[in-house]
Amino acid sequence: MAGGKKGGTKVKSGQAQERERGDDAAATASTTGLPLPSLRKRSASLSKNELRELDLFTVPNFLSVKECETFIQCALALGFQHQGSRGPTYGEAYRDNGRASVQSPALAENLWEAGLNLVFSDIDVHGRRAVGLNPNIRFYRYTVGQKFGQHIDESVELGEGLATEYTLLIYLSGGEESCVQGKASRELLVGGETVFYNRRRIVAEVPPVAGMALFHIHGQHCMLHEARVIAKGVKYVLRSDVIFS
């Protein structure tokens, strides 16, 4: 668990675990020809809003609404593939959303160096330090009626002592600003909150706000979480993982 704190969430067996693969050829593209945004280092210092100490926190205004728009256009250009599942009866999280992914070490480094590296400068997981983002960058799209049921995220071993320890979500739509600017996310978003549980009790309900990053510890200490159903609008998310060494 993060920051040398005591306690932590135990994961019950039988809960749906999600391993996000980067080898889904149909939905994965190389970066060639994609209008991927190039992010400057954030000029203002980024603040951490702790929802469960350092195990769950948000970073407001990490991206501008314009940068979110560019990522949405990039994801649309990649093309979303539908993600379904057989559901909890088969030990799989209920899943109904679109997904696109790109394998991009350059984009992962760009996002990290834009300021996320500083956000993680005081976080350690069992004495290990954050060194960057998983270059397997995923985009999710949820339309009305779609959701991602309760599940936990697995840690992924990447070899040479590297493993992912945190999930990163960056909301690309949602909030008031994204309704009045841009094109793809102009419609008001209702629903789609990311909800975290500890022993069946709600720990946090996070409404998507364009540009806000959310981090939560995953693997052994991952909290059960879900993405609630969309009532109105379209939710877009950029997803990666923080790698520790």
Note the residues at the interface with ligand AKG (CB under 6 A): 18, 140, 148, 153, 167, 169, 194, 225, 227, 237, 239
Q: Quick one: 95 or 107, whose CB is closer to ligand AKG?
A: 95
We find the least distance from the C-beta atom of residue 41 to ligand AKG, in angstroms, to be 26
Q: Quick one: 6 or 19, whose CB is closer to ligand AKG?
A: 19
Q: Quick one: 171 or 244, whose CB is closer to ligand AKG?
A: 171
Q: Return d(Cα 218, Cα 71) in angstroms, integer.
A: 25
Name the residue among 67, 64, 69 with its Cα closest to residue 185.
Answer: 69
We find the least distance from the C-beta atom of residue 171 to ligand AKG, in angstroms, to be 8
We find the least distance from the C-beta atom of residue 45 to ligand AKG, in angstroms, to be 26
Q: Quick one: 78 or 237, whose CB is closer to ligand AKG?
A: 237
Q: Quick one: 130 or 168, whose CB is closer to ligand AKG?
A: 168
Q: Quick one: 140 or 166, whose CB is closer to ligand AKG?
A: 140
We find the least distance from the C-beta atom of residue 140 to ligand AKG, in angstroms, to be 5
We find the least distance from the C-beta atom of residue 157 to ligand AKG, in angstroms, to be 18
CB 230 within 8 A of CB 171: no
We find the least distance from the C-beta atom of residue 43 to ligand AKG, in angstroms, to be 28
